[in-house]
Amino acid sequence: MSKEKPSVRYKKWAEEHSIFATTAETVGIAAVKYGIQSLGQKINVNLINANPEVKEIHERSLSEAALLFTVAAPLEEELTFRAVPQAVSGYLKNRGHDSSAKAVVRAADMLFVMAHSGLFIKNEGGQIKPNLKVNRVDHAIPAGPYIAAKQYRRLAETRGIRYAVYAHSLNNALALAERTIRKSKS
């Protein structure tokens, strides 16, 4: 038996089995987020995703919602919130602007959280604008989007953007499955 710490052994295993590690980590985080969502429902505070666009997508056909949630959204969001900021951050780091590089990454993560918390919405013309109908209780604590932003950032930086896209897609598929099952029971 190895005397290495479990975290070191896991890191080595994850490097050799990246897709399995990403799947396990994403399912584990989805379970934590589901627990947070359940807690939020008990105390009447939305702790996961209050973006009205997400609710509208759930009202579409299952195949259309699945395509949007598991393909289009993960690709668009990971390129926008992870790949581009990561490239800008790398450019700034190479020029000795470490604090600016970190700020770019943090700002992108916060924009991801804000986009998923319902603070901004797209109007009919596709322009992003502040959501003036924000209910403070409904948008109190965007814990789910914050956890997701940190997970996807870590994956993009340690394993590559494709793992962040995969994790995002899997997370959305799990959320869609959960909502579909809940909807079929009601």
What DSSP string describes 1-31? ---S-HHHHHHHHHHHSHHHHHHHHHHHHHH
pLDDT in tens, the chain (186 residues): 568 898 899 999 999 999 999 999 999 999 998 888 888 888 877 777 666 666 677 677 888 889 998 999 999 999 999 999 999 999 999 999 999 999 999 999 999 988 887 776 667 777 777 766 655 545 556 788 889 999 999 999 999 999 999 999 999 999 889 888 888 887
The pLDDT score that the predictor gives to residue 72 is: 94
126 within a domain of the structure (yes/no): yes
38 within a domain of the structure (yes/no): yes
Q: Are 44 and 137 in contact (CB under 8 A)?
A: yes
The pLDDT score that the predictor gives to residue 50 is: 61
The pLDDT score that the predictor gives to residue 185 is: 86
57 within a domain of the structure (yes/no): yes
The pLDDT score that the predictor gives to residue 37 is: 81
Q: How far apart are CA 172 and CA 119, in angstroms?
A: 20
Residue 44, domain extent: 6-185
The pLDDT score that the predictor gives to residue 29 is: 92
The pLDDT score that the predictor gives to residue 117 is: 76
The pLDDT score that the predictor gives to residue 109 is: 94
The pLDDT score that the predictor gives to residue 59 is: 75
Residue 53 neighbours by CB distance under 10 Å? 17
The reply to whether the predicted model has a pTM over 0.75 is yes
168 within a domain of the structure (yes/no): yes
Task: Indicate the number of domains in the chain.
Answer: 1
1 within a domain of the structure (yes/no): no
DSSP letter at 83 equals I
106 within a domain of the structure (yes/no): yes
Closest CA to 54 of 130, 116, 112, 114: 116
Q: Are 152 and 82 in contact (CB under 8 A)?
A: yes
The pLDDT score that the predictor gives to residue 178 is: 84
The pLDDT score that the predictor gives to residue 127 is: 75
107 within a domain of the structure (yes/no): yes
45 within a domain of the structure (yes/no): yes
